[in-house]
Amino acid sequence: MAKIMIVDDSRILRKILTNTLTEAGHEVIADAGNGKEALLLLEKIKPDLITLDITMPVMDGLEALTQIKANYPDIKVIMVSAAGQKNKVMEALKGGASDFLQKPFEPEDVINIISKFA
């Protein structure tokens, strides 16, 4: 079971992911609404894995991924994408993301993808 941080600007999506992962036995140790908030939290908290939304205000997922991988290369990052973001997903995978989850998703999609890495 993994210690997970959820980063998404949608409060509803953060809640859905938190509930799904918690029910599957994982521990959601933090959540953040954008990349900048996530990086501040990472100065204090070390998750095993981060779910990272691509489209967010202040600092988007691609910029956050670059900084997370530069500073914390051991943390696994799963991108959360929307339809039509194939190019950004490819860029993220080249930049060190482990995999991606495309919205809309079902709870089992979340569990399956996380279980590959944690």
Contact residues: Mg ion, CB under 5 A:
9, 53, 55-56
| Rounded least distance, CB 61 to Mg ion, Å | 8
3-state secondary structure the chain: CCEEEEECCCHHHHHHHHHHHHHCCCEEEEEECCHHHHHHHHCCCCCCEEEEECCCCCCCHHHHHHHHHHHCCCCEEEEEECCCCHHHHHHHHHCCCCEEEECCCCHHHHHHHHHCCC
Nearer to Mg ion, 27 or 62 (CB): 62
| Rounded least distance, CB 70 to Mg ion, Å | 22
Nearer to Mg ion, 46 or 103 (CB): 103
Nearer to Mg ion, 69 or 103 (CB): 103
Q: Which residues contact 31 (CB under 8 A, 6 or more apart)?
A: 5, 6, 7, 8, 14, 18
Nearer to Mg ion, 44 or 77 (CB): 77
| Rounded least distance, CB 82 to Mg ion, Å | 8
| Rounded least distance, CB 13 to Mg ion, Å | 7
